[in-house]
Amino acid sequence: MQTRLSFLFILVGFCCLQMQAQHVVFQQELKGEVFPIGHLLRWQTSYEAPGVQFILEKSTDGLNFQELAQVTGKGGSSIQNEYQYLAPDVIDALNYYRLRVVRSNQAPLLSSIVSLQNRTANQFAILRYSDILPTTSFELEVQGRAQGFLKWHLRHLDQAFEDQGEWLLDFGVNPYTLDLSAFPEGPYQLALQLGDEVETLTIKKVSEATLKTMTAGSDALPTNRR
Could you report the per-residue pLDDT of 50-69, keeping only the tens digit for each? 888 899 999 988 888 999 99
CB-based burial of residue 189 (10 Å sphere; 0-12 exposed, 13-18 middle, 19+ buried)? Answer: middle
Average pLDDT, the chain: 79
158-171 tens-digit pLDDT:
999 999 999 999 98
pTM over 0.85: no
The proportion of the chain whose per-residue pLDDT surpasses 90, expressed as a percent, equals 28
CA-to-CA distance for 93 and 73, rounded, in angstroms? 30
181-193 tens-digit pLDDT:
889 999 999 999 9
pLDDT(20) > 50:
no
Does 135 or 6 have the greater pLDDT score?
135
DSSP states of 103-140 = -TTS--EE---EEEE-SS--SEEEEEES-SS-SSEEEE
Q: Given this model, what pLDDT does residue 92 score?
A: 72
Domain architecture of the chain: domains with CATH: 24-117 (2.60.40.10), 124-225 (2.60.40.1930)
Q: Which residues contact 223 (CB under 8 A, 6 or more apart)?
A: 126, 199, 200, 201
Provide the pLDDT confidence category of residue 149 given band limits of 50, 70 and 90.
very high
CA-to-CA distance for 197 and 143, rounded, in angstroms? 14
